[in-house]
């Protein structure tokens, strides 16, 4: 309701087609992907769990992710969560008890942006999965160690070094999972090199938690000849 009120008060328009009205009009919302496809980063980090995304990091997903993350268009958390729920549904097509684990943002990024966009999307995805009758919970199992740099502009080797040991598991969140037979899905907004989600997988494996799959909204297309500007 609050987001809807803000949209009206601020006179917003659809992020995708620019029509005045809601931040995502009904037509554009209905054309968003409802399932996921398997992608493989190239090169693929060794031991990476299967990665599923809704589509390439291009329009319309790119515009939605950027507006939600950087411009704090919080009304987009719900449609993005629905997209993520569709990806999770494709990645795990049984009736297992799902635990969605968000890749945490750097604390500095959360302060700058005023919110944690992936955590917000994961909460929305959990609501959509439950509405579809799937047992799902969100977990804040992962924490980021301080001192991790922004990944933008780093190549695969630099990202790997930057992120080595960057994540750890929160013991109290881990205790809440103890004794439950669950399917753990690591969730992120964008998969680029796969290094970040592989680090999440490593941190969870270090305490005996096996990651079944990785779900993200979008994946960047890798190019063979990577220039300094590629992410």
Which residues contact Zn ion (rule: CB under 5 A)?
14, 16-17, 25, 28
Could you tell me the smallest distance in angstroms from the CB atom of residue 79 to Zn ion? 11
Cβ 32 to Zn ion, closest distance in Å? 11
In whole angstroms, how close is the CB of 63 to Zn ion at the nearest point? 10
Residue 142 contacts residue 103 (beta carbons within 8 Å)? yes
Cβ at position 95, least distance to Zn ion in Å: 34
Contact between residue 200 and residue 175 where contact means Cβ atoms under 8 Å apart? no
CB-count burial class (<10 Å; 0-12, 13-18, 19+) for 69: buried
123 near 138, Cβ under 8 Å? yes
Comparing CB distances to Zn ion, the nearer of 76 and 185 is 76
* DSSP-assigned letter for residue 59: T
Q: Which is nearer to Zn ion, 28 or 118 (CB)?
A: 28
Residue number, 16 or 193, with CB nearest to Zn ion: 16
Contact 12, 25 (CB under 8 A): no
- Between residues 16 and 144, which has the closer beta carbon with respect to Zn ion? 16
CB 55 within 8 A of CB 90: no
């Amino acid at each position: 309701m609050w987001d809807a009120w803000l949209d009206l008060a601020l006179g917003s328009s659809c992020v995708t087609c620019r029509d005045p009205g809601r931040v995502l009009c009904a037509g554009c919302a209905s054309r968003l992907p409802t399932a996921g496809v398997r992608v493989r980063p190239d090169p693929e980090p060794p031991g990476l769990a299967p990665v599923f995304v809704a589509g390439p990091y291009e329009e319309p997903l790119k515009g939605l992710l950027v507006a939600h993350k950087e411009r704090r268009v919080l009304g987009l958390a719900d449609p993005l969560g629905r997209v993520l729920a569709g990806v999770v549904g494709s990645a795990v097509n049984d009736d297992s008890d799902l635990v969605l684990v968000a890749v945490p943002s750097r604390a500095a990024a959360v302060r700058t942006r005023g919110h944690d966009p992936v955590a917000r999307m994961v909460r929305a995805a959990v609501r959509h999965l439950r509405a579809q009758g799937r047992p799902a919970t969100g977990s804040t199992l992962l924490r980021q160690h301080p001192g991790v740099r922004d990944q933008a502009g780093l190549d695969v080797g630099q990202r790997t070094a930057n992120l080595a040991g960057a994540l750890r598991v929160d013991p109290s969140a881990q205790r809440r999972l103890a004794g439950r037979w669950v399917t753990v899905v690591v969730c992120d907004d964008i998969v680029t090199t796969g290094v970040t989600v592989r680090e999440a997988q490593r941190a969870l494996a270090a305490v005996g938690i096996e990651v079944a799959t990785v779900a993200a909204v979008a994946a960047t297309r890798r190019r063979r000849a990577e220039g300094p500007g590629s992410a």
